[in-house]
Amino acid sequence: MSTRIGITGAAGRMGRNLMLAVGEHTDASLGAALERQDNPFIGHDAGELAGSGRMGVALQDDVDSALQGLDALIDFTAPEATARHADLCARAGVPLVVGTTGLDTAHLDALQKAAATIPLVYAANYSAGVTLALRLIADAARALGDDYDVEIIEAHHRHKVDAPSGTALRMGEVVAETLGRDLARDAVYGREGQTGVRDSRTIGFETIRGGDIVGEHTVMFAGLGERIEITHRASSRMTFARGALRAALWAVTQPPGLYDMEDVLGLKRSG
């Protein structure tokens, strides 16, 4: 029996790709396609949005009732909606995969609370390549130490509403955690004017927004006489959609807890 997957934000760019990813997987089926009440596609067949022909599932707005027929929910929406969906999933006992970015402390607390009851996967990026890049970034920071300046450059399409990207921030967190720094204190977001000499503890961020760039991230370790760059470029949102679906299929077999893509890919170091 296939795993019944629900998708919130189904009419959005990621939602449509998620529906395509579900449609191409032999062990998954689309159980619900969800959107806000004011979405003009409510009542339309989900396949019309995904461009895959009829899927036999109409776009609806009642998350609570939809959860009763689901094995897992994938949420790429907005922070407030995600926090509400986490609560609803916890009440319904439905595993949740969260790809929403821009979450603040209150939103993250809502995920933590839900994870006490259900398996919940939260990652800034569901690409296997990005997950591996994060491991390489930690290894590089550990080996190079404080002698190398760290700068993070990210680029996304013109429609992205948050900056820096969740993935870029996670990369900065990995560097800060490895080097014993505090990202809240040491991050610098863009530079302009007379900035003065660079503080060696700074973790710099530069943001590019334009066109249809799916996602590009580079972490630069700049030393005296050499520079090391770790770069990931995504050319299709299907990379993220397939990763999120993989996380959902993995989550349904797990006990309650808060997980990330390293858990899904089996990359967590022991000890």
- The catalytic residues are 156, 160
Q: How many CA atoms lie within 13 A of 223 on its CB side?
A: 13
Q: Decide: helix, strand or coil at residue 4.
A: strand
Contact 153, 113 (CB under 8 A): no
Side-by-side strand order, sheet with 203-209: 187-189, 203-209, 149-156, 215-222, 227-234
Secondary structure of 54-117 as H, E, C letters: CCCCEEECCHHHHHHHCCEEEECCCHHHHHHHHHHHHHHCCCEEECCCCCCHHHHHHHHHHHCC
Cα separation, 225 vs 204, whole angstroms: 20
Spatial CA neighbour of 191 closest among 209, 175, 207: 207
Residue 194 to residues 191, 197, 198: CA-CA distances in angstroms? 9, 9, 11
Which residue has 């390549």 as its token pair? 129
